Amino acid sequence: MAEYCTEEKVAFNGKRVEILGPTFEEGKPGTPMNWRNKLRNREEMLAYLKTGERYWFNDEWFGSEKRKTKA
């Protein structure tokens, strides 16, 4: 990966700030971004369902529906 580059921008308060520039690598991706392979075993898969897919699979957290009957 190339060196990080920075860019100078004006922040909301008018001050000039240095921020991190684009971090993506040049070129076209050769392989799919297979994030699902990070889930190595069933335990991790089920844990991810409870957290990542909590909208459907967590008993305690229902977002907008949390005060209502369980989905």
Q: Considering only residues 2, 19, 20, 33, which one is a binding residue for other proteins as defined by CB under 8 A?
A: 33
Closest to 35 in 3D by CA, of 24, 20, 45, 43? 45
| Alpha carbons 47 and 61: distance in angstroms, whole number | 14
Contact between 5 and other proteins per CB under 8 A = no
Closest to 54 in 3D by CA, of 41, 63, 45, 44? 63
CB of 33 to other proteins, least distance (A): 4
What is the binding site for other proteins (CB under 8 A)? 10, 12, 14, 24, 28-30, 32-36, 38-39, 42, 45-46, 48-49, 51-53, 55-57, 62-66, 68-69, 71
